Amino acid sequence: MDLRDIVTGHYGSVDLAETIIGSLADHGVDVEHLTAGDLSSLDQLHAGFRPATEHVLDRLGVGPGTHLLDVGCGIGGPSRLAAGRGAQVNGVDLTPAFVDTAKQLTSRVGLAGQASFDVTSGDSLPFPDASFDVAMMIHVGMNLPDKQAVFSEVRRVLAVGGLFAVYDQMRVGDGELPWPLPWADDEHSSFVERQQEYADHLVASGFTVEAVEDRTDAVAGPPPPGPSNAVILGEDFGRRIGNNVAATKAGTLAAVLVLARAS
Cα gap 8→30, rounded to integer Å: 31
Let me know: does 56 contact 94? Beta carbons within 8 Å: no
Query: Would you tell me how many other CB atoms lie within 10 Å of the CB of residue 222?
Result: 6
| CATH of range 3-262; options 3.20.20.140, 3.30.1020.10, 3.40.50.150, 3.30.420.40 | 3.40.50.150
pTM of the model: 0.93
Local confidence pLDDT in tens for the 263 residues of the chain: 444 444 445 455 568 999 999 999 999 999 999 999 999 989 999 999 999 999 999 999 999 999 999 999 999 999 999 999 999 999 999 999 999 999 999 999 999 999 999 999 999 999 999 999 999 999 999 999 999 999 999 999 999 999 999 999 999 999 999 999 999 999 999 999 999 999 999 999 999 999 999 999 999 988 888 888 888 888 899 999 999 999 999 999 999 999 999 99
Q: What is the 8-class DSSP label of residue 182?
A: T
HSE, CB side, 13 Å, CA atoms: give it for residue 247: 25
Cα gap 70→49, rounded to integer Å: 16
The full set of domain ranges for the chain reads 3-262
